[in-house]
Amino acid sequence: MTTQKFKIGDKAAVLDDSFSGVVKSCSNGKVTLETSEGFLLQFDASELIKINNDNDLGSLFKGKSLGAVLREKEEPKKRSFTREKKSRKDDITLEIDLHIEKLVKKKGGMSNYEILTLQSETARRQLDFAIANRIPKVVFIHGVGEGVLKAELEFLFGRYDNIIVSEADYQKYGLGALQVYIKQNPKR
């Protein structure tokens, strides 16, 4: 925006305020206005606009709607960077792979009963650990087979009151996993 040249006696209005006055002096880009109440106020020339008479402010905004003029004068809204605070534990999912190859180095010599017992004991210990440490979600990967381990896990989970058991995410785990949500009691 170019600054206008003001002369003593010109009428001027303040752009960002609701008053006007008569120019009493101007030098070095500073303009002194005398308001109708007799106050002398100094402004930068860029803060003022010449007017022809007291009722001619409307001509300044020809071709613009009132909304457009108000939007020009509005300060931009500051962005809010506050986020909803979530507990880090809400994002934690404990994954337990119960495939026998993941539990022991060598499965040679173990009977099916010993393998199933080790897998179910591991599941019980890990579930107790998750409950004690207030971990809200545990996924037990049992694999796809004859369904013996899955049935054993469902029987084990049936003994707990504070859990909800469902099939785990199919896209991530396929058919071979159960997901356990642990209902948390508030700490007392």
The amino acid sitting at 4 is Q
pLDDT at 54: 46
pLDDT at 109: 86
* Start-to-end C-alpha separation, the chain: 65
Q: Report CA torsion sign: 143, 148, 154, 158.
A: negative
Rounded-to-integer distance, Cα 52 and Cα 34, Å: 16
pLDDT at 94: 86
For the chain (length 188 residues), average pLDDT per consecutive 10? 74 82 89 88 86 58 65 70 59 86 87 92 92 90 88 91 89 89 73
pLDDT at 81: 63
pLDDT at 139: 92
Q: What is the DSSP letter of 77?
A: P
Q: What is the DSSP letter of 121?
A: H
pLDDT at 3: 54
- Are the beta carbons of 25 and 39 closer than 8 angstroms? no
SS3 10: coil
The pTM score is 0.51
CA-closest candidate to residue 51, choices 92, 88, 10, 84: 10
As a 3-state breakdown, the chain gives helix, strand, coil percent values, each rounded to 5, of 30, 25, 45
